[in-house]
Amino acid sequence: MLSRRDFITGTTLGIAGLACFGPFAVSVRAAELFPKKKQRVVVVGGGFGGATAARYLKLYDPGLEVFLIEPLRQYVTCPSSNLVISGLLKMPAITHSYDRLARQGIRVVQDTVSAIDPVARYVEISKGKIAYDRLVVAPGVDFSFDLIPGMDAAARAKFPHAWKAGEQTVQLARELAALKKGGSFLISIPEAPFRCPPGPYERISMVAAFMKRTNNRGKVLVLDANPDVVSKAKLFKSAWADLYKDIIEYTPDVSLKGVDAGKRRLTTDKGELTADIINIIPEQKAGALAFASGLVTKGGRWAAASPLTFESTLHTGIHVVGDAADRDQVGSMPHSGFVASSMGKTVAAAVVALLQGKEPQLPSLENSCYSQVSDTESIYVTGVFLYDATAKKLVGVKAAGSASSGREARYTQHYRDWQTSITKDTFG
Ligand SMILES: Cc1cc2nc3c(=O)[nH]c(=O)nc-3n(C[C@H](O)[C@H](O)[C@H](O)COP(=O)(O)OP(=O)(O)OC[C@H]3O[C@@H](n4cnc5c(N)ncnc54)[C@H](O)[C@@H]3O)c2cc1C
């Protein structure tokens, strides 16, 4: 834990400290924007983790002041974004506003948090600072572009990841819709762990489904850094063998060594190659704010947090939920929207209890994840995660986990229903 003295040293006095907190330290001169009238929880990041936490904080204790700080006016869900790329859904189906949360008494501030003072308990945004009693940080992921030689601004523009849904989802959908006959779509998958383990394999299926639907006779070239399909392997591979034998070319254990945007060329340990559409998903880590505000242990990749309340193990009063939280420390759950939302509810209950001087309940998280594999059929996995006192983290309950025995059209309807209910639960 950093003490107030360490923090002051880091922010105002010591050069060494500045290297740690740097430009992200809350400026002492920043104006206080909303003087605190009651107990207040500030939530940073309006994705599945943060928006759910904000909504449930207000539901569990309507007397609390709840702030949600998010730069985007509208949130675009990654879930179902692969269906947009394939042309089965349009962007409005996965786009959500924060208006209903605002109507439910949550103060939604459209801005970016640039700094956190964990000792004086403030966050800083563009116009000043906002005080908190407890803070929930849910910034999602950022990308380690630096691990791919040549992945400069030009390469990022030409080889989109579309691993945060939005403009790049639209870009890939447009490129695919315009793909010439017999064209190729290349996808590069990083080593696990990454956001949504089945996500790349659903994308492969959805691009192949597009090629089949449009009789394109093209190829989906898959470069996977992992030794095998990371999630639902049997189900995906059986769908590919049955439906896309002549379309998908899957190569495991490929290491991406570099890219050349000018020549549209990728270098791997298995040779050089190119394609008409190139989709590179880089390795991921906790969102930048987690690093900037000292929530990640030195040399780490994810934010350190307790498995019981998701309170940071580096700063008291700050809780981390969603993809940014370190799974080695918190538990074996995948980085998914469902888990982020489940963490949001758990943290809301824990924070309300802590503010009332009560003992938080033990957490119990859920996950269910659908993947569409053809124009009509889908597959799924489910899981429940409980605290294990021996492992000292959340672990999957064997008897509660399941997977579909095959692909079925009715699971596609369940997938749509899941999307409707989770977005209603998250955004009100
Ligand atoms: C292609 C794809 C398909 C997927 N499909 C599924 C699925 O079917 N089911 C499922 O459960 N999951 C799915 N996921 C995973 C899911 O999208 C993520 O796990 C989920 O979004 C994580 O939620 P989060 O709240 O941690 O982060 P996010 O949803 O990324 O939200 C983080 C928010 O924080 C904001 N933010 C960041 N920094 C700051 C800052 N400094 N100040 C203020 N705000 C900030 C961002 O703008 C963002 O809105 C999929 C992912 C992908 C890529």
**Do both 149 and 274 map to the same domain?**
yes
Confidence at residue 248, expressed as pLDDT on a 0 to 100 scale: 98
DSSP codes joined into one string, 210-231: HHHHTT---EEEEEESSSS-SS
Confidence at residue 160, expressed as pLDDT on a 0 to 100 scale: 98
**Do both 349 and 375 map to the same domain?**
no
Whether 79 lines ligand 1, by a CB cut-off of 6 Å, is: yes
Domain end (from 303, 336, 361): 361
Whether 196 lines ligand 1, by a CB cut-off of 6 Å, is: yes
Please give the average per-residue pLDDT across 78-93, as a whole number. Answer: 98
Whether 122 lines ligand 1, by a CB cut-off of 6 Å, is: no
Ligand 1 atom index nearest CA of 72: 47
**Do both 122 and 216 map to the same domain?**
no
Report yes or no on 78 lying in a domain. Answer: no
What confidence tens digit (pLDDT) does each residue in 356-388 have? 999 999 999 999 999 999 999 999 999 999 999
77 contacts 165 by C-beta, under 8 angstroms = yes
In this prediction the pTM is 0.94
Whether 281 lines ligand 1, by a CB cut-off of 6 Å, is: no
Confidence at residue 6, expressed as pLDDT on a 0 to 100 scale: 33
Separation of alpha carbons 65 and 133, rounded Å: 10
Whether 46 lines ligand 1, by a CB cut-off of 6 Å, is: yes
Ligand 1 atom index nearest CA of 49: 25
**Do both 352 and 237 map to the same domain?**
no
Structure tokens at 426: 């998250």
**Ligand 1 centre and the CA of 242: distance in Å?**
32
Burial state string for 303-342 with b = 16 or more CB within 10 A and e = fewer than 16: bbbbbbbbbbbbbebbbbbbbbbbbebbbebbbbbbbbbb
Report yes or no on 278 lying in a domain. Answer: yes
Confidence at residue 3, expressed as pLDDT on a 0 to 100 scale: 37
Testing ligand 1's pocket by substitution, the residue of 52, 67, 73, 78 carrying the most ligand atoms inside 8 A of its CB is 78
Residue located via tokens 């982020």? 340
**Ligand 1 centre and the CA of 335: distance in Å?**
9
What confidence tens digit (pLDDT) does each residue in 261-277 have? 999 999 999 999 999 99
What confidence tens digit (pLDDT) does each residue in 27-60 have? 767 889 999 999 999 999 999 999 999 999 999 9
**Ligand 1 centre and the CA of 102: distance in Å?**
20
Testing ligand 1's pocket by substitution, the residue of 168, 195, 339 carrying the most ligand atoms inside 8 A of its CB is 195
Nearest CA to ligand 1 atom 37: 139
**Burial class of 171 by CB neighbour count within 10 A (0 to 12, 13 to 18, 19+):** middle
Separation of alpha carbons 120 and 334, rounded Å: 34
Of 217, 36, 203, the closest CA to residue 129 belongs to 36
**Do both 392 and 354 map to the same domain?**
no
> Is the pLDDT assigned to residue 12 strictly greater than 70?
no
Confidence at residue 26, expressed as pLDDT on a 0 to 100 scale: 73
Whether 71 lines ligand 1, by a CB cut-off of 6 Å, is: yes
**C-alpha pair distances (Å), 167 with each of 91, 171, 172, 179, 257:** 10, 6, 9, 18, 26
Report the CATH number at residue 387: 3.50.50.60
> Is the pLDDT assigned to residue 11 strictly greater than 60?
no
Whether 289 lines ligand 1, by a CB cut-off of 6 Å, is: yes
Confidence at residue 14, expressed as pLDDT on a 0 to 100 scale: 29
| Number of folded domains that form the chain | 2
Confidence at residue 27, expressed as pLDDT on a 0 to 100 scale: 74
**Do both 302 and 277 map to the same domain?**
no
For residue 130, which phi and psi values (nearest 5 degrees)? Answer: -125, 125
Ligand 1 atom index nearest CA of 113: 42
Testing ligand 1's pocket by substitution, the residue of 26, 48, 143, 378 carrying the most ligand atoms inside 8 A of its CB is 48
**Ligand 1 centre and the CA of 17: distance in Å?**
31
**Ligand 1 centre and the CA of 197: distance in Å?**
13
What confidence tens digit (pLDDT) does each residue in 388-414 have? 999 999 999 998 889 999 999 999 999
Domain end (from 309, 332, 361): 361
**Higher pLDDT, residue 342 or 16:** 342
**Do both 291 and 264 map to the same domain?**
no
Structure tokens at 43: 């939530």
Separation of alpha carbons 311 and 304, rounded Å: 8
Beta-strand runs (E) in 70-137: 74-76, 95-97, 107-109, 115-117, 122-125, 128-131, 134-137
State the residue range of the domain holding 374: 145-282+369-427
Number of CB atoms found within 10 A of residue 413's CB? 12
Peptide bond into 334 cis (omega under 30): no
**Ligand 1 centre and the CA of 323: distance in Å?**
7
**Do both 334 and 197 map to the same domain?**
no
What confidence tens digit (pLDDT) does each residue in 233-272 have? 999 999 999 999 999 999 999 999 999 999 999 999 999 9
**Do both 15 and 62 map to the same domain?**
yes
**Ligand 1 centre and the CA of 411: distance in Å?**
23
**Ligand 1 centre and the CA of 29: distance in Å?**
32
Of 370, 321, 350, the closest CA to residue 46 belongs to 321
Of 236, 256, 240, the closest CA to residue 248 belongs to 240
Of 77, 75, 87, the closest CA to residue 370 belongs to 77
Domain end (from 361, 385, 408): 361
Q: Which of 101-110, 143-152, 398-407, 418-427 has the lowest mean pLDDT?
A: 398-407
* Dihedral angle of Cα 48, 401, 226, 279, to the nearest 10 degrees: -40
Please give the average per-residue pLDDT across 324-351, as a whole number. Answer: 97
Whether 340 lines ligand 1, by a CB cut-off of 6 Å, is: yes
Ligand 1 atom index nearest CA of 82: 1
419 contacts 336 by C-beta, under 8 angstroms = no
Nearest CA to ligand 1 atom 29: 47
> Is the pLDDT assigned to residue 17 strictly greater than 90?
no
User: Whole-number mean pLDDT of the chain?
Assistant: 93
**Do both 323 and 344 map to the same domain?**
yes
**Do both 297 and 332 map to the same domain?**
yes
Report yes or no on 101 lying in a domain. Answer: no
